[in-house]
Structure 1
């Protein structure tokens, strides 16, 4: 599994969580160079939309991962999205509260698996 930083690399959140994060872009290119370039362009444009702030977008992508159970293993985005959220100022406590909230709407089993994955990601 790719090692994820649990501390922001700067004191200020990125203006664009995809386009401003060179570490993320390199990780995407390691999956496949064309895939990395494509995802950077498309996701970068989506993350650049102005009405929803970067922190909220980071919480939304974590929600999508929970609902789809894209949590651990090769090619799954949950660890990258947790890292992205932390870089945007989201705390572990906020992620945990989000997972509790999602118990009601996504299902208790999905939330339980997500808590386990979160623990694994943040203790590595």
Structure 2
């Protein structure tokens, strides 16, 4: 089951990285709110069932994440994920200017409101190092 696809829609694909025990969600193009919410709900159900405690959102090929999806993450998904014991959530983004500042603000807010460690990166290897670090 290593690196198997657990969810696939037109703009979203979630891979289970079995060896490292994390989900890697790839986003492409313009994602509809319904697609995003479905992916997050499906991923969280999978995480609970298989005791997966880390998630990567790869936003390098997305136009912009739907605002409603970001609100859902903050107000519904994080509390649910935290309740069952999720440890880390990473965002992979392009090397950006203004958008990077938005992510910095969102990450700071998430880290204040949740026990889940949240961060964003521009390099997948740095994410993998961070996920594997047990701090």
TM range (shorter): 0.3 to 0.5
Higher strand share: 2
Higher helix share: 1
Q: Pick 1 or 2: higher relative contact order, CA cutoff 8 A, min separation 6.
A: 1
